[in-house]
Amino acid sequence: MRNNAIRLAADRSAGAKPGRHPAAHPLLRLGAGLAALIGLVAILAALRPRSPRSPNEAPTAVSPMEVVNRGISTALQIESPGKRAAPPAPASEPTPETRQLVDNLVKLEQQNGVLTQDQAAVWKRSLEGPGAVPAIREFLARGTDFDLGQEGRELFGYASTRQAMFGALAQIGGAEAVAALAGTLQTTADPREIALLAQHLEQLDPVAHRQEALEAARQTLAMAAEGKLPDRDVAPLFEVFQNYGDTKIVADLQKAAGQWNYYATVALARLPEGAGVPALIEIAQSMTGPRLNALEMLAQLSGQYPEARAAMVEMARSNRISPSQWPYLTLLLAGNRYHYEGSVLEASTTAGSMGQEIAGSVLFGNQHFYTAPNSGELTPERVNQLRGLIDELLATTAEPAAVEALEGSKALLSKRAPLVMNTPGQ
């Protein structure tokens, strides 16, 4: 049984040793030719890596007081979880000066244990020109990363140095920046990085790199299925499938459902134009596999796709929804949807605006998710559609568990309806 409770996304960042303020280091006296890389000093001067760890080794946590004492401390250096292919030949090489600068940046230490908003602003301004691309590409090819911690995220807008470099390349744009992003996509085996890279490439060069992103996600999911990525949440891979895939990805998701029952069925439910609905119906009506998960997705899609609604009604009529399954449909028939916890490609949904309760769970297979209504989708029309479906289901089955669950959905919709009517733009 799943636990329904209010959940907050976990902060998995870890700290490391503080460094010295970059202004105290002689490298900062380099000439104007290094202006494009001043920002790297601002972000990485705060970092002194620990010894590289095994890809399977869990991050080392620090005490809250230690983090407070360090301010924006250097974060844990992590190795890439694996590489899937040989990196492409670089388009151009960094100059000897910039290469030397980048090689020494990670050895610097902070002077006062704190970075400032001014330094963050300098960093953001400095990485705007194409001259920084070769050095960024070379840094990314090393496969190491530094978690910036919560304060670093607030200052720089990124969770880690690699993510900051992805963002810098996206801001710079141009053929060489796109090539650097695409080259990293071909080699990284980190699920979050794959999703971020796919998103940046889609923004810079729409459609052109979708197949590369899908193939990267397939290969990395295969690694996870073999137990090679035990400390990585693979939800971002399913986000790549649902955002950039089409009917051809359905078979991959059906196969993955055996190991990631929630992630795979959520992705099937979110494929464009209802491409995953037939597969969800097939799973829900089968005698094996994640039948309940597929049934839940049909319930949340029933107001959007007539075939999902018809399948729900027919299964209720033929008593193919068991008494133990009906309680799981209550929230979904009242407008809730499944969301990936810590999603890379969608904004998080929080309680409050709809007066909703967020229900979450963490299951086997490292699946992290929650359910909540999307206020933008729960329109007056949607509320009326759900009411109509609930009434139709009540007229179809007299199963006590079904009646109880459906009446619960109806009551929850009645509470939400006034909030929906009063939501601006509705």
State the helix-helix crossing angle for 161-172 and 175-187, rounded to 10 degrees: 150
pLDDT of residue 98: 52
Q: Where are the domains of the chain?
A: 15-208, 277-426
Q: Which class for 353: exposed (0-12), middle (13-18), buried (19 or more C-beta within 10 A)?
A: exposed
pLDDT of residue 391: 97
pLDDT of residue 266: 97
| Neighbour-count burial for 20-43, b at 16+ CB within 10 Å, e otherwise | bbbeebebeebeeebebbbbbbbb
For residue 70, the Cα-to-chain-centroid distance in whole angstroms is: 28
pLDDT of residue 41: 35
Tens digits of pLDDT across the chain (426 residues): 333 322 222 232 333 333 323 333 332 233 333 333 334 433 333 333 333 333 333 333 333 222 222 222 233 344 455 555 544 544 577 766 555 544 544 443 344 445 667 766 666 666 667 778 888 898 899 888 877 777 777 877 888 888 988 998 999 999 999 999 999 999 999 999 999 999 999 999 999 999 999 999 999 999 999 999 988 999 999 999 999 999 999 999 999 999 999 999 999 999 999 999 999 999 999 988 999 999 999 999 998 899 999 999 999 999 999 999 999 999 999 999 999 988 999 876 544 444 445 555 556 557 999 888 876 778 888 889 999 999 999 999 999 999 999 999 999 999 987 776 555 554
pLDDT of residue 205: 96
